[in-house]
Structure 1
Amino acid sequence: MSDKKIWPLFALGLITGGFWQAAGAQIEVSGYYKNLLVSSRTLGFPAFLPATDYTVDLNRLHLELRGDLGENTVFNLQYDNEIFLGDYLKTKQFQAQKNIPLDTYLNLRSTYTDKQSVFGRHGFYRAYLDTRIGNADLRIGRQRVAWGSALFWSPVDILNPIDPTALERDRRTGVDAVVLDADYSDLSRVSVLYAVHASPVRASTAVRWRTNKYGYDWGVTAGRFRNDDMAGVDLAGQIGKIGVRSELTRTKSPVDGFYTRFVLGADYTFLNTLTINGEFYFNGQGATDTSAYDFSRLLSGEIQSLAQRYLGLYLGYDITPLIKWKNYYINNLDDKSFFYAPEISYAITQNNELALGIQIYSGITGSEYGSFENMLYAQWQLFF
């Protein structure tokens, strides 16, 4: 790690330590241990050949430390230690993907063992200070900036974009940023953001305004996000008992030119716990012809979808208070391929959960979801 990237870590440590001693901060420690066992097949792209069946076992220890640093300042540190086991480590696909750098300024993750039988890495998942100044919150460090409200796709949430087929949907890389949230009324806020990046041209500067009028949350966002200029609006609210949401953005990109993205969604929960959530997504950045698909950008995480028109559906149901059934379905309306992911989870105890699931990809050769392999997984998670 270069000197320019390591000094903020020392600064964060000094600030945390100084306030802690001065204020006698009380630290809250929480976290989880996760074991995720996956069975699948490597992808058929030339760089990953020969295609082969594999298993991989992820073991993650996640620790979160929170504390008060004086009357108006808190800190949050989240540390991950991950060990990967299995024959997936011997594949070309893993060798390529493990070296993809995070799209951040600070490199807060490092590898401590890299063998064909075991791969281990650790680092900070989140690390930030949050200070209350009058009617404003100032947050500095590696953080999640959540500006969208959609489930499958969020045009507004461009700093931490949603991967609609991610196995761990709640995991987002985060950004190294300074964010000021200023409340000028009970229901209105202006946010200003600056996110640094290892490549200066990919730094982000943005402003967001949101308020609540007529029973709806309204938002307007504008700025430069990495290398793109974007402006957008969003709203979320209720029509009777049906939740509704919408996001619309217009982007100018040096790579993709001008394009529009929007999402329309609705959800409803029945008295018997059955939840239905649907979204339509238009992605002007995408292509309508499979020959124009750029899988390299998709696999690197630069983009999250290849085509232009999608339908996403979520169905959830509590079979019992301890057993939950979840279903995610995505249809690429342009190439007719689809993704389906059912999962059933069981709460063994209050802090101990087991989940079993499958991800099914289907489509013709060259289609988006037809180019990926089915996946079986079992997950055990212990919270503390």
Structure 2
Amino acid sequence: MMRWFKYILFIFVSFVTVVSNAQSKLDINGYISNMGQSAFAKDVGNDYQFLNDFILHNRINMTWYANDNFTAHLEFRNQFVWGQSMANIPGYANEFARDRGFFNMNFNWWQNANNLMNTQFDRAYIEYVTGKFEISVGRQRVNWGRTLVWNPNDIFNAFSYYDFDYMERPGSDALRMKYYLGTASSAELVAKIDSSNDLTLAGLYKFNKWSYDIQFMGGYVYGQDIVVGTGWEGNIGKVAFRGEASYYKAAENFADTSGVFLASVGFDYLLGNKLTIQWEFLYNDPKTLIDIEQSPTAIFQAPSTSKSLSFSEYNIFANLSYIISPILTANLAGMYYTDYKGYFLMPAIDFSISSNLYFSLMYQYFNLELHNKRSGSNVAYARLKWNF
């Protein structure tokens, strides 16, 4: 705990000392949510096993505008979990406290057989802007992805689509420099160190051509690979068209090793201002697939790197979102995994009780062929969320 505390204290004390003045402004916002979830799974020939849990989730976002040039950001979430998963899922509490960053800023205040209290800092950085130049240092999100579900270009902080309750997504301990070359073009350089002391150093060049936002990136990642990649986003008529691809190759014995290729392509279409249709495809090189044979819970965890985004070589995603009324929206998302002859379904309903109070129902269902037999996994969620 002291390591993360000293890190945050150092950043903010240094910042106050350098740029403090009477014109500073502090903005605070966030939310509180209470979510119940019930998980139940069944293999062929076995009975259902139910695990019921509740998560009280509070997020705080703090932004300090010290002056026209300096801004400080501190964002964290507190989660109080109680239920049956801790006693029935090995490593459940430790997974909550796992931090992939160089600084350990994620910890459990306590944990026992049926509850835990966790705090996670995923943003803690200072940003300096002058003219066309920006520099930021600390824990921050570096988002180079263009598609919505799988991001081969998101080399700094990959995320899991299944973790819908974590909208902000993880951050990285990084130094980021960005220079705007024009209205729609920029160049940036980012250096990151993770919990294994592995260095990721990469650059990105972004520009607009033929009404498309296009990017090229490359660098040294995860302390072992050379990566090059590209991404784009634009429209084909009324259809949004986006994609990205990356090629990884080990830096050691570069000429003697084979590379890893990942690519995702997606389309969005808005029909009649009420129905949105999304489709996405991912190819994940079979050499880097996530292993769920030994650990089925790995499905729900965020991938450790952007070169291992799925447990299937070919993946198809589709989503329908329909605005039933101004306060009620229905969604149906699904995936198909060729390697396991399996699929995933997630229907959801979001109801706006007021301008800042929301109620949601979600359901996640996996059906996969594991160890030569069909296996079904279900999780039902009910969430009440208040934004402030």
User: What TM-score, normalized to structure 2?
Assistant: 0.88
Aligned to 2:8: 9
The 8 Å contact of residues 261 and 285 in structure 1, kept in 2 or not, is answered as: no
Counterpart-to-counterpart distance in 1, 2:359 and 2:85:
23
Partner of 1:90: 87
Deviation at 1:17, TM superposition (A): 2.9
Is 1:379 the counterpart of 2:383 in the alignment? yes
Counterpart selection for 1:219 from 206, 211, 215: 215
The one of 243, 247, 253 equivalent to 1:246 is 243
Asked if the contact 2:93/2:111 (under 8 Å) is kept, the reply is: no
Unaligned runs of 5+ in 1: 45-49
Distance in 1 of aligned mates of 2:42 and 2:158? 23
Change (3 A) 1:260 1:123: closer
| CA deviation map 1:286-323 (0-9, x unaligned) | 579x9996648946633431121111101101010100
Evaluate the alpha carbon distance shift between residue 117 and residue 96 of structure 1 in structure 2; reply closer, same or farther with a 3 A threshold. Answer: closer
2:130 is matched with which residue? Answer: 133
Q: How does 1:237-276 map to 2 (within 5 A)?
A: 237-253=234-250, 257-276=258-277
Matches for 1:9-28 after TM superposition, within 5 Å: 9-18=8-17, 21-28=20-27
Does residue 1:103 correspond to 2:100, yes or no? yes
| Distance apart, 1:197 and its partner CA | 2.1
Structure 2 CA distance for aligned equivalents of residues 371 and 254 of structure 1: 39
Report 1:115-126 matches (<5 A).
115-126=112-123
1:73-88 matches, within 5 Å, as: 73-88=70-85
Q: Displacement of 1:198 after TM fit? A: 2.9
List aligned pairs for 1:1-384, cutoff 5 A: 1=1, 7-18=6-17, 21-41=20-40, 52-95=49-92, 97-98=94-95, 101-168=98-165, 170-200=167-197, 202-227=198-223, 228-253=225-250, 257-286=258-287, 295=295, 298=298, 301-302=303-304, 303-366=308-371, 373-384=377-388
- How far residue 29 of structure 1 moved from its aligned partner, in angstroms, is 1.0
AA partner of residue 153 (structure 1): W
What code does the residue aligned with 1:378 have?
A
Distance 2:292 2:52 in 1: 32
2:202 and 2:357 map into 1 onto residues whose CA distance is: 40
Q: Distance in 2 between matches of 1:162 and 1:367?
A: 29
Distance 1:243 1:372 in 2: 34
After superposition, the Cα gap between the structure-2 partners of 1:157 and 1:130, relative to the gap in structure 1 and judged at 3 Å, is same
**1:327 maps to amino acid:** L
1:218-245: per-residue Cα shift (whole Å, max 9, x none)?
0001012213321101111011111001
Aligned-residue CA RMSD (Å): 2.8
TM superposition shift of 1:97: 4.9
Report the Cα offset of residue 18 of structure 1: 2.6
> In structure 2, what is the Cα distance between the partners aligned to 1:366 and 1:15?
55
Post-superposition CA distance 1:236-288 (Å, at most 9, x none):
10111110012111111489951111111111001241000101111114579
In 1: Cα distance, 2:135 partner to 2:328 partner: 40
Change (3 A) 1:281 1:382: same
Q: Secondary structure at the match of 1:154?
A: coil
Structure 1 counterpart of 2:129, one-letter code: R
Pick 1 or 2: higher relative contact order, CA cutoff 8 A, min separation 6.
Answer: 2
1:117 and 1:74, CA in 2 relative to 1: closer, same or farther beyond 3 A?
A: same
Distance of 1:374 and 1:154 partners within structure 2 = 26
Counterparts of 2:217 and 2:61, CA distance in 1: 31
Amino acid at match of 1:117: N
Relative to 1, partners in 2 of residues 1:128 and 1:155: Cα closer, same or farther, differing over 3 Å?
Answer: same
Aligned to 1:98, the other structure's residue is in SS state: helix
Q: After superposition, what is the alpha-carbon deviation per residue over 1:32-85, rounded to whole angstroms, capped at 9, x for unaligned?
A: 0011111003798xxxxx994211111111111112112211111112121001
User: Is the 1:127–1:143 Cα contact (8 Å) retained in structure 2?
Assistant: yes
1:145/1:43 Cα in 2 relative to 1: closer, same or farther (>3 Å)? farther
- Distance change in 2, residues 1:38/1:171 (3 Å): farther
Q: 1:76–1:128: 8 Å Cα contact kept in structure 2?
A: yes
Deviation, structure 1 residue 9 = 2.2
3-state SS, counterpart of residue 93 of structure 1: coil
Report the CA distance shift for 1:366/1:159 in structure 2 as closer, same or farther (over 3 A).
farther
Q: Distance in 1 between matches of 2:112 and 2:24?
A: 41
Per the alignment, do residues 367 and 221 of structure 1 end up closer, same or farther by CA in structure 2, a change over 3 Å counting? farther
How many pairs are equivalent? 375
